[in-house]
Amino acid sequence: MSVEHADLTPPPRTRRRRGSLNADDILDGAFALASGSSLEGLTMPGLAAHMKVGVTSIYWYFRRKEDLLDAMTDRALERYSGELPAVTVKHWDKTLREHGRAMRRLLRDDPVLCDLVVMRTAAYGASSSQKMMEQIESVLSTLIDVGFRPDDALNTYLSIALHTRGLAMLERQQDIDRESDIRVPGFEDKEKLPILVKLLKQGHGLGANEKTFEYGLTIAIEQAKLVLAKTERAAIARRERRGR
């Protein structure tokens, strides 16, 4: 009895039609591929295989991986700055809090965006950097309209932005370590750490998390309220002196 052998020859790879590829398509593919692995794992040959094109087609638009990452950073910054909610004069404290929360949500929900926006600040392109600065300028203008002095407005915004981005970076690293099964070493001598041991038993952690973020965000906003009140009192005192 004859035995029929299955054809194990792989089907021919379907390639894109010549001329159908463009830079935006490549960026779409790069983001999709990086979201399944990491920016470090993103390679030009791997991207070409993912998109079913020859690697020379990728190099036609982006000569080096660094050029591709720069373009991805520009796109990530446009999305990041475009999706942050506005801060309003009437409810500046509530809307500033939501602004900070939106920062964290964007960075936590999209690891690739976090890597590009937080870890590659030196690679910001002029156009994307300008858009981001305009977004910051808008917040500062609103806070000044509220009554903050310009330097206090800047310090208030930076305290929230840097707190948020710093924690996002730490949380991102925690995620990477967890995926790689890298664990924090245990205590060498617990008897010398009674407070920490008790807190950890109660469920507290030593890493960055949402509770840590909210705690720092609240401190920044409450401090801003105190600064604003002090500025307003000083303004009233000046008016009273002029009226004498």
List domains and CATH numbers for the chain: 16-63 (1.10.10), 74-237 (1.10.357.10)
Looking up tokens 């910054």, which residue turns up?
A: 77
128 vs 115: CA distance, rounded Å: 16
**Can you say whether residue 19 is alpha, beta or left, with left for phi > 0 and alpha for psi between -120 and 50 degrees?**
left
DSSP 114: H
The predicted structure's pLDDT at residue 174: 87
Nearest Cα neighbor of 167 from 220, 226, 211 is 211
Contacts of 25 (CB under 8 A, 6+ apart): 51
The predicted structure's pLDDT at residue 5: 46
The predicted structure's pLDDT at residue 10: 44
One pLDDT digit (tens) per residue for the chain, 244 residues:
444 444 444 444 455 555 568 999 999 999 999 988 788 889 999 999 999 999 999 999 999 999 999 899 989 998 998 899 999 999 999 999 999 999 999 999 999 999 998 888 776 777 778 888 999 999 999 999 999 999 999 999 999 999 999 999 999 888 878 877 777 777 778 889 999 999 988 988 888 889 999 999 999 999 999 999 999 998 888 887 887 6
Contacts of 221 (CB under 8 A, 6+ apart): 93, 96, 97, 160
Kindly list the distances between the CA atom of residue 234 and the CA atoms of 111, 153, 221, 227, 237, in Å, as whole numbers in the listed order: 45, 16, 20, 11, 5
The predicted structure's pLDDT at residue 8: 46
214 vs 216: CA distance, rounded Å: 5
The predicted structure's pLDDT at residue 243: 72
The predicted structure's pLDDT at residue 107: 94
The predicted structure's pLDDT at residue 15: 55
pTM for the structure as a whole: 0.81
